[in-house]
């Protein structure tokens, strides 16, 4: 009763796990799938570090239960690069020093990916608004990294 | 040494793992059989524990154990205390200092919301939290001590019954003759300024994992800390174990800012639980805990007065300062004296009198946070200077021009000790030139010319200045070893711990240049006590200078060893040996070149003989820095204020700064940007709010506002380079500077914007509600 089986696609792979119904999606990813690139900064939906793409749209993995993601297709930071080749956003963040400690970086990369999928030619103001969900000391540089990617 | 990498904007070597989500932070560590800890924390600001019953909690499913003070009494040693005045300082300033003992688990009286009362360990964090909820505690509430100024006065309830008052650090300090200068002055201004309680707020909360091996008596603990060796020393004392049996690893750390340079109860409690239970234990702090239990910061009140001559020359400063250190005075004189030592900053002032009281209250203990006492000093001083300028009808730029020290006046001896006890002498810089550079780059005059027309159109734009001079890179040393492996590749190990600022790149740049090897050949390891026996850690803008100097020294000594071995191998005089791009050769004979690996391998004994030299291709240095190096900057903020809503928009922000020679410009820019972002938070948004009962009202990031890219303006940096002669690299620290001036610069800009209304900003954060109230008061007056 307190456990359920969830099936989901993450980064192109299929997983099936039985989890406590109260377990968050973030904890499922981190603990049960060993995908620790999804980080927890607040666990109350403000910092954006836990952002993943759920069926293509950004979602806070700390605010969802794992069982709610049953059947979903997820992209986490581990799925961004194509093997050895970094995703262009990852390259841009690297080249333009768009990160420091790297803790909020996965969430920002995924937020930026979803945003750029919809707005291939964004303005600087749009980029800043897109980043409004991630307090970060690297924020000033991140807005320019996304701009130049 | 050729400077191929030093000064170059090389991409950071650590970035790919961060970008791929492959970095390893404490919470990413998973060990077989690991259990999880959660803490019961005091919900009261001040209360006596009358009873704790853990029976029900301990019987819950999955619970391994629940611990109270009584259960762990044999391990309960006082938490580490810092900040006794060093001899050179104690000889000049007489401090009254009281420090009290805090234990890892609360013994009888809880003194702040968030203090740890009990620890539950279970097979998942979820179940550990369930157990915490089931612990029953009887509380007898005691009167809460909340306001620092009233708490310092007679009649206040006491935090500690055996203290005469709540003053944890009290002293006065004077240079020159302030009384005489005030008597002789033409103009005097005074004001009370308040700097709120705000904090570092790393996005990675704290965390500890520990595992104990009974077979060889070793403890290994991963800790999200800036100071691995301090944690090791604390554990050695608490557990009565030799340091070499304790390995502390600071893996990838998601921001530190000083918050993670303090000594914490959890540092010891998790290892203790691992020892007692014989299983690996993890604790990952959640944000709610972090708000109440990770160190708070700032929070001062200044009653400041300036005395000046008619021409705007500032003659003297008088300041009464209160600092709210929270419930335990763990940092002694560090924050109080930092504030005093940075009060005069870039100004040519010869007379100072300060009376300081650091006060204990029922709040989360304070610790140094990016700037550590300096932003508060600079806020009081630079706000007061603007008040003086306004009173005298001088432009804020002009009054600074008349009082800032010029390069030709340095070295400038303040005639007092620095916090390390050594004479406080500004070694390098040109503050006046920095001011002019900042004004030029920010197009200050243009702004002033445009301002009146904008005001006529009802647009309230303002420009604000603030400058500081910062003692960076406090000593006494940092450790570094540099060695070659069998392939001639380079390993650098240091006691400095990175919390994301790019050590693996900057330090590799220093070592690669000294050894003349490609940058990719260098691996930098920090934050592991098993890699180097002694070390200090990363805080106080110190690692580039202290670790960088040791890396320089150690690499230089290693280079000598390589050259001696190569001379034997190549049958040449050492003076004729050169190292170029990872190969050694006889100068002028390119055909003689062999890779470094060949030198190493030829030095290793074989059955045929002992090798060309000892294969001891390793050198260690503990470079001692004589005292701090003085970095400086001038910040210029441009704001627009909406007088109808009280909302302040930051239009532009400029930093003209001198940190001496720059190792990696984008990394330095990143440090400045990050500091400014946190300073903007302090100026406009962030505050830890307590009610009059000592209850913390800002318990989440919904209540405590952090700035995001939306709120941050473009930040422009101008690099001025006045190298320090106090270290071999000519560098100065830059980690904290960005955070020092924004509150003052932004408050000055807001006041400038609203000059027609005569609003005076005395307090941060300047929230819309506060600003509207000030505007409203002026309108009705
Ligand atoms: S951890 Fe999910 S938003 Fe902060």
**Eight-class DSSP state of B737:** G
Gap between the Cα atoms of B507 and B522, Å rounded: 9
Distance linking the first and last C-alpha atoms of chain B: 68
**Residues of A in Cβ contact (< 8 Å) with B254:** 39, 41, 101-104
Gap between the Cα atoms of B493 and B551, Å rounded: 9
Query: Which residue ranges form the domains of chain A, and what is each CATH number?
Result: 3-79 (3.10.20.30), 88-147 (1.10.150.120)
| B28/A100 Cβ within 8 A | no
CA torsion, points B732, B736, B738, B739, in degrees to nearest 10? -160
Compute chain B's Rg from CA coordinates: 28
What percent helix, strand, coil does chain B show, rounded to 5? 30, 30, 40
User: What is the structure's pLDDT at B80?
Assistant: 86
Cα(A66) to centroid(ligand 1), Å: 15
Give yes or no for a cis peptide into B476 (omega within 30° of 0).
yes
pLDDT in tens, B89-141: 999 999 999 998 899 999 999 999 999 999 999 999 999 999 999 999 999 99
| B674/A94 Cβ within 8 A | no
Q: What angle do CA B629, B633, B635 make, to 5 degrees?
A: 160
Gap between the Cα atoms of B310 and B30, Å rounded: 68
Compute chain A's Rg from CA coordinates: 15
Residues B606 and B636 in one domain: no
More confidently predicted of B176 and A144: B176
Domain that holds residue B219: 31-142+202-293
Q: Is the per-residue pLDDT at B217 higher than 80?
A: yes
Closest CA to B390 of B468, B446, B464, B454: B464
Phi and psi (nearest 5°) for B275? -70, -50
| B203/A132 Cβ within 8 A | no
Distance linking the first and last C-alpha atoms of chain A: 48
Residues B602 and B710 in one domain: no
DSSP state letters, B316-342 = EEEEEEEEEEES--TTTTHHHHHHHHT
A123 vs B: CB within 8 A = no
Gap between the Cα atoms of B222 and B549, Å rounded: 27
Q: Number of folded domains in chain B?
A: 3
User: What is the structure's pLDDT at A148?
Assistant: 41
Smallest CA–CA distance, residue B124 to chain A, in Å, is 10
Closest CA to A95 of B273, B654, B9, B437: B9
| A136/B708 Cβ within 8 A | yes
Residues B500 and B436 in one domain: no
- Computed over every residue of chain A, the mean pLDDT equals 91
The residue among B122, B708, B711, B736 with the most chain A CBs within 10 A of its CB, best to mutate, is B708
Cα(A40) to centroid(ligand 1), Å: 5
**Residues of B in Cβ contact (< 8 Å) with A106:** 21
Ligand 1 pocket: which of A28, A44, A131 to mutate (most atoms <8 Å of CB)? A44
What average pLDDT does this structure show over B731-760? Answer: 96
Closest CA to B526 of B7, B80, B19, B13: B13
Smallest CA–CA distance, residue A71 to chain B, in Å, is 24
Contacts of B23 (CB under 8 A, 6+ apart): A37, A102, B17, B252
Complex ipTM value: 0.94
Cα(B281) to centroid(ligand 1), Å: 24
User: Is residue A41 within 6 Å of ligand 1 at its C-beta?
Assistant: yes
Q: Is residue B173 part of a domain?
A: no
Nearest to B701 among A46, A81, A102 (CB): A46
| A95/B20 Cβ within 8 A | no
Nearest C-alpha in A relative to B289:
A42
Gap between the Cα atoms of B737 and B366, Å rounded: 20
| B715/A100 Cβ within 8 A | no
Gap between the Cα atoms of B455 and B465, Å rounded: 20
Residues B82 and B217 in one domain: yes
Neighbours of B640 (CB within 10 A): 17
User: What is the structure's pLDDT at B320?
Assistant: 98
What average pLDDT does this structure show over A111-117? Answer: 94
Gap between the Cα atoms of B536 and A84, Å rounded: 37
**Residues of B in Cβ contact (< 8 Å) with A84:** none
CA torsion, points A13, A19, A25, A28, in degrees to nearest 10? -60
Residue finishing a domain among B239, B270, B293: B293
Write out the two tokens for B29: 């560590």
User: What is the structure's pLDDT at A136?
Assistant: 73
Residue of the CA atom closest to atom 3 of ligand 1: A45
Asked whether the beta carbons of B532 and B493 are under 8 A apart, the reply is yes
User: What is the structure's pLDDT at A129?
Assistant: 83
Gap between the Cα atoms of B586 and B108, Å rounded: 73
Strand partners, B471: B630
Gap between the Cα atoms of B319 and A121, Å rounded: 54
Closest CA to B676 of B652, B696, B694: B652
Asked whether the beta carbons of B35 and B119 are under 8 A apart, the reply is no
Convert B265-294 to b/e letters by CB count within 10 Å (16 or more is b).
Answer: bbbbbbbbbbbbbebbbbbbbbbbbbbbbb
**Residues of B in Cβ contact (< 8 Å) with A136:** 203, 677, 708-709
A69 vs B: CB within 8 A = no
Q: Is B119 helix (H, G, I), strand (E, B) or coil?
A: strand
Strand arrangement of the beta sheet that strand B618-621 belongs to? B522-526, B490-494, B480-484, B618-621
Nearest to B18 among A41, A80, A99 (CB): A99
The residue among B62, B705, B710 with the most chain A CBs within 10 A of its CB, best to mutate, is B710
User: What percent of chain B shows pLDDT beyond 70?
Assistant: 100
A10 vs B: CB within 8 A = no
Asked whether the beta carbons of A48 and A26 are under 8 A apart, the reply is no
Alpha-carbon distances, residue B766 vs B323, B356, B649, B769 (angstroms): 20, 25, 11, 8
Residues B452 and B488 in one domain: no
Smallest CA–CA distance, residue B498 to chain A, in Å, is 9
| A39/B254 Cβ within 8 A | yes
A-B interface: how many C-beta pairs under 8 angstroms? 175
Cα(A43) to centroid(ligand 1), Å: 5
Q: Is residue B191 part of a domain?
A: no
Residues B92 and B68 in one domain: yes
Gap between the Cα atoms of A94 and B316, Å rounded: 49
Gap between the Cα atoms of B570 and B592, Å rounded: 7
Residue finishing a domain among B266, B293, B320: B293
Residue finishing a domain among B591, B621, B651: B621
Counting Cβ atoms within 10 Å, is residue B723 exposed (0-12), middle (13-18) or buried (19+)? middle
Residues B120 and B237 in one domain: yes
Q: Is residue B148 part of a domain?
A: no
Nearest to A44 among B203, B499, B701 (CB): B701
| A102/B19 Cβ within 8 A | yes
pLDDT in tens, A43-81: 999 999 999 999 999 999 999 999 999 999 999 999 999
Strand arrangement of the beta sheet that strand B207-213 belongs to? B63-67, B116-122, B35-41, B281-284, B207-213, B218-223, B246-249
pLDDT in tens, B594-625: 999 999 999 999 999 999 999 999 999 999 98
Q: Is A53 helix (H, G, I), strand (E, B) or coil?
A: strand
Residues B341 and B242 in one domain: no
**Residues of A in Cβ contact (< 8 Å) with B715:** 140
Ligand 1 pocket: which of A40, A105, A132 to mutate (most atoms <8 Å of CB)? A40
- Computed over every residue of chain B, the mean pLDDT equals 96
Q: Is residue B683 part of a domain?
A: yes
Closest CA to B435 of B348, B518, B332: B348
Domain containing B407 — which CATH number?
3.30.365.10
User: Is residue A64 within 6 Å of ligand 1 at its C-beta?
Assistant: no
Asked whether the beta carbons of B507 and B779 are under 8 A apart, the reply is no
Strand partners, B624: B477
What average pLDDT does this structure show over A18-39? Answer: 97
Domain containing B128 — which CATH number?
3.90.1170.50
Q: Is residue B184 part of a domain?
A: no
Cα(A119) to centroid(ligand 1), Å: 24
Counting Cβ atoms within 10 Å, is residue B557 exposed (0-12), middle (13-18) or buried (19+)? middle
Chain Cα centroid distance, residue B584: 42
Smallest CA–CA distance, residue A66 to chain B, in Å, is 14
Residues B398 and B254 in one domain: no
Q: Is the per-residue pLDDT at B1 higher than 80?
A: no
Residues B433 and B400 in one domain: yes
Convert A71-108 to b/e letters by CB count within 10 Å (16 or more is b).
Answer: ebebbbbbbbbeeeebbebbbbbbebbbbbbbbbbbbb
Gap between the Cα atoms of B131 and B86, Å rounded: 45
Gap between the Cα atoms of B44 and B48, Å rounded: 9
Q: Is residue B724 part of a domain?
A: yes
Q: Is the per-residue pLDDT at A149 higher than 50?
A: no
pLDDT in tens, B542-598: 989 899 999 999 999 999 999 999 999 999 999 999 999 999 999 999 999 999 999
Gap between the Cα atoms of B362 and A7, Å rounded: 49
Gap between the Cα atoms of B562 and B579, Å rounded: 9
Which residue blocks in B285-425 are alpha helix, DSSP H? 287-293, 334-341, 374-392, 396-403
Residue linked to tokens 């690299």: B729
Ligand 1 pocket: which of A28, A36, A41 to mutate (most atoms <8 Å of CB)? A41
Nearest C-alpha in A relative to B28:
A36
* Pairing between β-strand B583-586 and β-strand A13-20 as defined by DSSP bridges: unpaired
Residues B335 and B429 in one domain: yes
pLDDT in tens, B384-400: 999 999 999 999 999 99
Phi and psi (nearest 5°) for A147? -60, -40
Residues B610 and B644 in one domain: no
What average pLDDT does this structure show over A95-114? Answer: 95
Convert A109-126 to b/e letters by CB count within 10 Å (16 or more is b).
Answer: bbbbbbbbeeeeebeeee
Counting Cβ atoms within 10 Å, is residue B778 exposed (0-12), middle (13-18) or buried (19+)? middle
Cα(A48) to centroid(ligand 1), Å: 5
Cα(A30) to centroid(ligand 1), Å: 13
Strand partners, B38: B120
Q: Is residue B356 part of a domain?
A: yes
What average pLDDT does this structure show over B246-250? Answer: 98
């Amino acid at each position: 009763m307190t456990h359920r089986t969830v099936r989901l696609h993450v980064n192109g792979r299929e997983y099936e796990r039985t989890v406590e119904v109260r377990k968050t999606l973030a904890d499922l990813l981190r603990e049960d799938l060993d995908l620790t690139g999804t980080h927890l900064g607040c666990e109350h939906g403000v910092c954006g570090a836990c952002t993943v793409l759920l069926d293509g749209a950004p979602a806070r993995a700390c605010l969802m239960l794992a069982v709610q993601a049953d059947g979903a297709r997820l992209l986490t930071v581990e799925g961004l690069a194509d093997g050895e080749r970094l995703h262009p956003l990852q390259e841009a963040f690297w080249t333009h020093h768009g990160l420091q400690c790297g803790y909020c970086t996965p969430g920002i990369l995924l937020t930026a990916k979803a945003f750029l999928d919809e707005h291939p030619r964004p303005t600087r103001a749009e980029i800043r608004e897109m980043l409004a969900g991630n307090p970060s000391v690297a924020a000033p540089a991140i807005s320019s990294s996304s701009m130049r990617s | 040494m050729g400077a191929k990498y030093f000064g170059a904007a090389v991409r950071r070597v650590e970035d790919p793992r961060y970008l791929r989500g492959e970095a390893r932070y404490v919470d990413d560590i998973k060990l077989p059989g690991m259990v999880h800890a959660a803490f019961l924390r005091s919900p009261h600001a001040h209360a006596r524990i009358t009873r704790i019953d853990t029976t029900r909690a301990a019987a819950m499913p999955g619970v391994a154990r629940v611990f109270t003070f009584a259960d762990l009494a044999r391990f309960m040693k006082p938490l580490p205390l810092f900040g006794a005045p060093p001899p050179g300082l104690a000889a000049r300033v007489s401090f009254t200092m009281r420090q009290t003992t805090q234990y890892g688990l609360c013994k009888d009286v809880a003194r702040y919301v968030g203090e740890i009362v009990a620890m539950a360990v279970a097979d998942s964090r979820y179940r550990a939290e369930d157990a915490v909820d089931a612990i029953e505690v009887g509380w007898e509430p005691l009167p809460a001590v909340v306001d620092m100024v009233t708490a310092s006065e007679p009649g206040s309830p006491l935090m500690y019954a055996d203290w005469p008052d709540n003053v944890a650090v009290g002293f006065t300090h004077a240079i020159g003759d302030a009384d005489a200068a005030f008597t002789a002055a033409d103009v005097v201004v005074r004001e009370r300024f308040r700097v709120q309680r705000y904090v570092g707020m790393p996005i990675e909360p704290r965390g500890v994992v520990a595992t104990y091996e009974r077979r060889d008596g070793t403890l290994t603990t991963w800790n999200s800390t800036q100071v691995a060796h301090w944690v090791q020393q604390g554990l050695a004392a608490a557990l009565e174990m030799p340091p070499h049996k304790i390995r502390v690893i600071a893996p990838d750390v998601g921001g530190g800012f000083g918050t993670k340079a303090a000594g914490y109860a959890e540092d010891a409690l998790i290892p203790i639980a691992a020892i007692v239970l014989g299983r690996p234990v993890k604790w990952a702090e959640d944000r709610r805990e972090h708000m109440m239990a990770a160190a708070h910061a700032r929070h001062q009140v200044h009653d400041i007065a300036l005395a000046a001559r008619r021409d705007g020359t500032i003659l003297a400063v008088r300041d009464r300062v209160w600092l709210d250190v929270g419930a335990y005075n763990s940092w002694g004189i560090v924050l109080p004296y930092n504030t005093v030592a940075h009060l005069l900053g870039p100004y040519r002032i010869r007379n100072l009198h300060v009376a300081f009281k650091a006060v204990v209250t029922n709040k989360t203990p304070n610790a140094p946070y990016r700037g550590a006492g300096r932003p508060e000093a600079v806020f009081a001083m630079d706000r007061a200077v603007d008040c003086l300028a306004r009173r005298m009808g001088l432009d804020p730029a002009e009054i600074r021009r008349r009082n800032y020290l010029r390069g030709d006046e340095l070295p400038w001896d303040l005639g007092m000790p620095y916090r390390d006890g050594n004479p406080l002498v500004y070694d390098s810089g040109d503050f006046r030139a920095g001011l002019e550079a900042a004004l030029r780059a920010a197009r200050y005059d243009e702004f002033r010319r445009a301002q009146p027309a904008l005001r006529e159109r009802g647009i309230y734009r303002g420009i604000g200045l603030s400058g500081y001079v910062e003692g960076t890179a406090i000593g006494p040393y940092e450790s570094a070893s540099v060695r070659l492996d069998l392939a001639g590749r380079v390993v650098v190990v240091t006691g400095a711990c990175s919390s994301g600022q790019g050590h693996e790149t900057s330090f590799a740049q220093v070592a690669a240049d000294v050894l003349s090897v490609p940058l990719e050949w260098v691996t930098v390891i920090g934050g592991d006590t098993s890699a180097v026996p002694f070390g200090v850690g990363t805080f106080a803008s110190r690692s580039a200078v202290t670790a960088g100097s040791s890396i320089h020294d150690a690499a230089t000594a290693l280079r000598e060893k390589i050259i001696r071995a190569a001379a034997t191998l190549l049958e040449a005089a050492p003076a004729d040996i050169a190292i170029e791009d990872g190969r050694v050769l006889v100068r002028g004979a390119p055909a003689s070149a062999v890779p470094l690996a060949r030198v190493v391998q030829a030095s290793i004994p074989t059955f045929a003989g002992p090798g060309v030299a000892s294969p001891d291709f390793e050198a260690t240095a503990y470079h001692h820095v004589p005292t701090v190096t003085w970095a400086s900057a001038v910040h210029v903020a441009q704001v627009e204020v909406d007088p109808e809503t009280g909302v302040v928009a930051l239009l532009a922000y400029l930093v003209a700064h001198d940190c001496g020679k720059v190792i990696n410009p984008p990394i330095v820019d990143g440090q400045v940007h990050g500091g400014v972002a946190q300073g903007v938070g302090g100026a406009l948004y962030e505050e830890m709010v307590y009610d009059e009962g000592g209850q913390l009202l800002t318990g989440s990031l919904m209540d405590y506002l952090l700035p995001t890219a939306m709120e941050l303006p473009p930040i422009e940096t101008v690099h001025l380079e006045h190298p320090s002669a106090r270290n071999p690299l000519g560098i100065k620290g830059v980690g904290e500077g960005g955070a020092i001036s924004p509150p003052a610069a932004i408050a000055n800009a807001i006041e400038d914007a609203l000059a027609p209304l005569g609003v005076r900003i005395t307090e941060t954060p300047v929230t819309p509600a506060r600003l509207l109230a000030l505007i409203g008061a002026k309108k009705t007056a």
